[in-house]
Each structure stands twice: as structure tokens, then as C-alpha cells.
Amino acid sequence: MDHLQTQGINLPRLGLGTFRMQGDACRAAVESALALGYRHIDTAEMYGNEDAIGAALAASKLARTDLHITTKVWNENLAPDAIRKALDVSLKKLRLDQVDLYLVHWPARNMNLPAMFETLMKLKDDGRTRAIGVANFNIALLKTVVEQIKAPIACNQVEYHVFLDQTPLRNYLAAKSIPLVAYCPLAQGRAASDETLIKIGRKHGATAAQVALKWLLDQDDVVAIPKASRPESQKANLEALHVGLDDEDRAAIAALPKNKRFVNPGFAPEWD
């Protein structure tokens, strides 16, 4: 598995998303993913599944140092005390002393960015998380965090897939050497039935979903976290790393509509 080095952590470039997975089904999906070779699991306090993931991690025989676990603080908990409490609860549910990456899940209109990042950096210094980062931050917010507060963020996790252009955001992140973690990398499953991707896949003995993932993973500094509950899909998504796309494929993907956003962070008048 390829990794990206960012702020002292080794981030596996393909992870398992777990939104809308809960209880025993979530535990089974995470156990299956770990058995197949996934080492990066993406969760959040808001997903209500950290306990199921904790059970799966505890049942695995894997060394903690071989695993990358990301969780996120919800935007109602962005006051310093609330962040600290939220991480305590997440760690307890995950049955861990430390997560690898702790993200601000979603900006809030009334958030106090300096106070938030001071708290997050303290949690990092205290070893409760190995690195900190953000999700759903636009360029304006990133500029404040990176250039004014100078917080050492290890990623920005945002929606990114074959149907959504993220060029301005990618360019900003690349200039600051911050990886982009692509959520909804399969456009919530829609990529699997796209005719253009199916056609490209046929050429390479691959599926449309694999083509969509490989298109993301061929881009430097991009990590993808597809959610898949079925072991067959989990395996297929891992194998997407071996698909080889050519210039003709990339041109066909570039011609797909690029304005389809399926999750709207809706916190700012313009998303750039």
C-alpha cells in the first residue's frame, strides 16, 4: 500500500470510509477490510460507529503501529472544552490511547479558529492524536488556518471524484504540501454505473468504480476513502491500485461533467 508522509504520519493512500455503517454490520465490514489489507479506517463521532470500529480493532491481531485511524470532532463541539471531551469519548469508544489523525469535521459559523487550533495542537502535544487536520474547509478558511494560525494540518478532507472539479483547492493544498483526502470518491456509488467509466474499465479488465478510484490515486497528494460494506467491493477497491489508465482514458474522464457536488458543507457563501 502506498503512503503519503504528512506532519509526521504515514497516511495510507486508500482507506475505508465508514459513514452510514453501524453496529455489527460496521464491525463485520471493518474486520473484513482489515483482513483484506486495509490499514486506514475513517470514522467520526457523528457516524455513531466508533464503538463498533473499536471492537473490530480490538479483535484484529494487528499491531497498533500498523494501523491508521482517523476520527473527527463534530461542529457542535468546537469550543475548547467540548473538543477535549469529544476526543476523550472517541478514544474510549475506539479503545485507543491515541488516534492518528483528528479532524475538524465541518466548520461552524461561530467557531473561534485560534482557540480551536490551540486546543487541537495541545491534544497533539499531549499525544492524544498524532496529527490534526480539517475537513470541508474552503481556501479562505485554509488560508487563516495555515498562513495566520500556522497550524500543522496534515490534510483537508473534502468531496472529490470524477464528477467534481477541485482544481483551485488542490492547487492551494499542493502549494502548501497538504494532502487532499477525497471523500465520496465513488460519488456515493454513482461512479459504478457511469457509461464512460464502464467503457474505460472494459479496456483494462476493470470496473467503473476501480477506474474512478485509480483516477484519484494517480494524482499526487490525493488519498481516497471509499466506503464499501461488501468484502467483494472492498477487495475490488484495493485492487484499483493496479489499474493502469492512459491519456485517452484521462481525456474521457476530463470531459465528464465536473460540477456535481453531493454533499454541501453550506457554511460559506462561496465554496472555492
Ligand X SMILES: NC(=O)c1ccc[n+]([C@@H]2O[C@H](COP(=O)([O-])OP(=O)(O)OC[C@H]3O[C@@H](n4cnc5c(N)ncnc54)[C@H](OP(=O)(O)O)[C@@H]3O)[C@@H](O)[C@H]2O)c1
Instruction: Report the nearest approach of ligand X to the CB of residue 232 (Å).
Output: 8
Q: Which residue is nearest to ligand X (CB)?
A: 17
- Minimum Å gap between C-beta 21 and ligand X is 7
Closest CA to 79 of 57, 39, 108, 56: 108
Grid cell listed for 69:
485511524
Q: Identify which of 144, 186, 137 has the alpha carbon closest to the alpha carbon of residue 158.
A: 137
- Shortest distance in whole angstroms from residue 15 CB to ligand X: 8
Question: What are the angstrom distances between the C-alpha of 249 and each of 53, 184, 226, 267?
Answer: 37, 21, 21, 35
For ligand X, the closer CB: 21 or 91: 21
Residue 130 corresponds to which cell in the numbers above? 498524532
CB of 46 vs ligand X, minimal distance in Å: 8
Dig out the grid coordinates for 152 from the structure.
500543522
H-state helical runs in 103-191: 113-125, 139-143, 167-175
**Separation of alpha carbons 150 and 228, rounded Å:** 35
Q: In this complex, which beta carbon is closest to ligand X, that of residue 18 or of residue 90? A: 18
Q: Which is nearer to ligand X, 18 or 77 (CB)?
A: 18
At 39, list the grid cell.
490499514
Q: Which positions touch ligand X (CB under 6 A)?
A: 17-19, 42, 105-106, 135-136, 157, 183-189, 192, 207, 209, 225-230, 233, 236-237, 263
Which residue among the candidates 38, 47, 160, 183 is catalytic per the annotation? 47
Q: Which is nearer to ligand X, 148 or 193 (CB)?
A: 193
Task: Report residue 148 CA to chain centroid gap.
Answer: 25
Q: What is the smallest separation between the CB atom of 175 and ligand X, expressed in angstroms? A: 22
47 catalytic per annotation: yes
Between 9 and 53, whose beta carbon lies closer to ligand X? 53
Burial label for 235, CB within 10 Å (0-12, 13-18, 19+), is middle
Catalytic residues: 47
